[in-house]
Structure 1
Amino acid sequence: MTALGLGIVGLGMALPPHARALADLRDQIHVVAAWSPSAERRQAAAAAYALPEAASLDALLADPAVEAILVLTPPHVHAELAERAFAAGKHVLVEKPLDVSLERAAAMVAQAAAAGSILGVVLQHRYREATRTLQAMLRAGELGTIQAASCTVPWWRDQAYYDAPGRGTRARDGGGVLMTQAIHALDVFRALTGGVARVAASARTTALHRMECEDHVAATMTLTGGGIASLVASTATFPGYPEEIRLIGTRGVATLSGGALHIAGLDGQSFELAVAAPSGGGAEPMAFSHEAHRALLLDFAQAVRAHRNPLVDGVEALRTQRLIEAILAAAASGAWQDVPPD
């Protein structure tokens, strides 16, 4: 495969795992240039990761050697940057969520299709070995029919985390714990269970944080397949614990915990897949291996070359964002909400 020419826009907190993954993939992906409105961040990225600096965003988008753009900016400018990239004939891989606005997120998906461009989204937990192993087992019917499920994200973020400008706000981040942290687990949960049909929820900002949006959410869900499910998502659970997804099937129970998988079969058989590296999340946002990012970036590059959709494309990410918005709407209204279909 000819190496994919990549431009990077945004050089903040999200950069390190991508940079480490791209260093591993230098034969498959060539970083042509990187840009940030901050000269300090451009210089730091060049020093830390030897990323070539773009003269400007316009220059990066106009460079014919750049085939795709990796967008690592805060979410509130994702749609604007993606639109410019599509107009310049580029493919786009964007950090989660698609955008802070569900309407603009849907427009991104439509624009990619109209431009004939590939749109991928960084929801890397789908690329974990444990997730993909469980997905294959479910497809093979090894757990039987899912009867019930749960998703728990008992994480911790201190006040200093939320004191950063814009963090935990609707305007910049699109929300609190659901859109910024639990989106990863909810994306995996939705993919494994086949989706959510209806939801009832409560959301709060606890006394542990000063922030605009929610830091603790509890929800009851009806799966599209008829099963029942629950969600608890929090960044107010000190000291922070691994996220967990549990599926109860007619043939056994599967538990995903912080990147590890355990299967307990009703026939007495069990299966264990341990995690070899830290999965992060519990209390340290960046304390995780870059292995899943590497798999995601490689899949995106191969998708561009084959002109196919990556595992987590815009449509898949939009489904997860619709679920999050339905949970927030249910919490705001105090009534059950239907999760909009495609």
Structure 2
Amino acid sequence: MINVAIIGTGAIAAAHIKGYQFFQDRCNIVAICDIYPEKAEKIAADFNLDVEVYSDYKQMLNVSQVDLLSVCTPPYTHAEIAIDSLNSGKHVLVEKPMASSLEECDAMNKAQKRSGKILSVVSQNRFTNPMMKLKNVLGTKLMGPIVHTQIDSFWWRGHSYYDLWWRGTWEKEGGGCTLNHAVHHIDIFHWMNGMPSEVTAIATNTSHDNAEVEDLSVAICRYPNGSLAQITSSVVHHGEEQQLIFQGKNARVSVPWKVTASKSKLNGFPEKDKELENKLTKAYQQLKDLEYEGHAAQVEDVLSAIEGKRQVLVDGIEGRKTLELITAIYQSSSLGQTVKLPLNDHSPFYTRDGVLKKAVHFYEKKKYVENFTEQEITLGGKYE
């Protein structure tokens, strides 16, 4: 039996708890920690959990029976908590984004290597039927080389969203929609298409004058073979429709699932390639559905890794790649220049201090709310 502790009881903690409760024959939640212990006690009561409640995670780390920690705290705390947990011999599942800087990601990965324990970064949208099936279809190479990718990470958040004390600041949240919302799709993008060689980006704040950070960004990525990708990150799009489109030389596929294939007439104009469309459709439809999706599926992935059955799908190296792309977007949009990848410690945005000093502050955050009573959130995946 794997004993689990939850650190942080904000809105996302419920998804972790529900995920673990799918596997009560394999794991047991034994402790919950929050700097507001009354919040921890409430969520324990809401889920009928018999747990120890802590206000200090360092004290909780001394509880020897804890094997795995879910880190559900604000991004600026992820690195310290994860490193302390790994150093104390615990496995770690940390919420996205992995950390506030590449320097912190590298420190987390070093701690993981020293400890030999598992570090996994939440990327629950990988663990969905549409994404897993699209990944497999791309792997058939029936589409030919990818020439263009379109990532629309469209979300909507009202003005009051950034009133929460830690949101909307470079120091506490680490960034805006690019880091904390589009992180899902940027993760899937590099997982499916690999890392680009350079990034050019623009960011702005159109609708949230209570936040220092961006609420809209557009990035163009270039690959060594000339392929381009465009990534739009937003919390100003009504409806929150989201999509990933991959245009190959032979065909186009996407989430939501759609396939179109063209072949050339003698004059160069297109006509339908029904044979290829049928092959791609068959490749998609013959794939089995996942037994679990979302956080539950990622929890199962981590539990299986702890049990020695497999390697985790999203480790700290994968988590760092996602933050590397996001950091490149911030560096490009803030400094007005194209950024070459990979990024290392020579990047002006490599450290948290570098981000704080050089990132554009669109507005000064003036209003602070300690907690929201409403805990319901949207997790994306509106592929309709």
TM superposition score normalised by structure 1: 0.88
Question: Contact conserved, 1:208 with 1:236, CA < 8 A, in 2?
Answer: no
Return the alpha-carbon distance in structure 2 between the equivalents of residues 252 and 198 of structure 1. 25
State the 1:25 CA deviation.
1.6
Provide, for residues 7-29 of structure 1, a one-character-per-residue CA deviation record: whole Å limited to 9, x for no partner. Answer: 11111111121122222121222
State the 1:59 CA deviation.
4.3
State the 1:208 CA deviation.
4.6
Return the alpha-carbon distance in structure 1 between the equivalents of residues 332 and 296 of structure 2. 36
**Residues 1:176 and 2:179 aligned together:** no
Provide, for residues 181-239 of structure 1, a one-character-per-residue CA deviation record: whole Å limited to 9, x for no partner. Answer: 001011101111112111111111114543101111111110355311112111122x2
- For the aligned residue pairs, the C-alpha RMSD in angstroms reads 1.9
**Residues 1:244 and 2:243 aligned together:** yes
Equivalence map 1:214-293=2 (5 Å): 214-237=214-237, 239-256=238-255, 260-266=256-262, 267-268=273-274, 269=277, 271=281, 291-293=293-295
Provide, for residues 92-118 of structure 1, a one-character-per-residue CA deviation record: whole Å limited to 9, x for no partner. Answer: 110011111221121101110111111
**Matched residue, 1:336:** 338
Return the alpha-carbon distance in structure 2 between the equivalents of residues 166 and 43 of structure 1. 22
State the 1:178 CA deviation.
0.6
Question: Contact conserved, 1:205 with 1:216, CA < 8 A, in 2?
Answer: yes
Q: Quick check: 41-50 or 216-225, which moved more?
A: 216-225
Moved over 6 A (4+): none
Question: Contact conserved, 1:102 with 1:322, CA < 8 A, in 2?
Answer: yes
**Matched residue, 2:79:** 79
Return the alpha-carbon distance in structure 1 between the equivalents of residues 191 and 158 of structure 2. 30
Equivalence map 1:13-162=2 (5 Å): 13-51=11-49, 52-55=51-54, 57-162=57-162
Provide, for residues 70-125 of structure 1, a one-character-per-residue CA deviation record: whole Å limited to 9, x for no partner. Answer: 10011111111112111211111100111112211211011101111110001111
Return the alpha-carbon distance in structure 2 between the equivalents of residues 226 and 148 of structure 1. 9
SS at match of 1:81: helix
State the 1:4 CA deviation.
1.9
Structure 1 gap ranges (5+): 274-289
Question: Contact conserved, 2:207 with 2:215, CA < 8 A, in 1?
Answer: no
SS at match of 2:203: strand
Question: Contact conserved, 1:156 with 1:236, CA < 8 A, in 2?
Answer: yes
Return the alpha-carbon distance in structure 2 between the equivalents of residues 65 and 263 of structure 1. 50
Return the alpha-carbon distance in structure 1 between the equivalents of residues 104 and 8 of structure 2. 19
- Aligned-residue sequence identity (percent) comes to 30
Aligned residues: 320
AA paired with 1:150? Q
Relative to structure 1, is the Cα distance of residues 38 and 208 closer, same or farther in structure 2, using a 3 angstrom cutoff? Answer: closer
SS at match of 1:173: coil
State the 1:307 CA deviation.
7.4
Structure showing greater radius of gyration is 2
Structure 2 gap ranges (5+): 263-272, 286-291, 345-384
Question: Contact conserved, 1:138 with 1:144, CA < 8 A, in 2?
Answer: no
State the 1:250 CA deviation.
2.1
**Matched residue, 2:355:** none
**Residues 1:315 and 2:305 aligned together:** no
State the 1:172 CA deviation.
1.1
Relative to structure 1, is the Cα distance of residues 45 and 207 closer, same or farther in structure 2, using a 3 angstrom cutoff? Answer: closer
AA paired with 1:246? I
SS at match of 1:331: helix
AA paired with 2:65? A
Question: Contact conserved, 2:124 with 2:298, CA < 8 A, in 1?
Answer: yes
State the 1:296 CA deviation.
0.4
Return the alpha-carbon distance in structure 2 between the equivalents of residues 224 and 5 of structure 1. 46
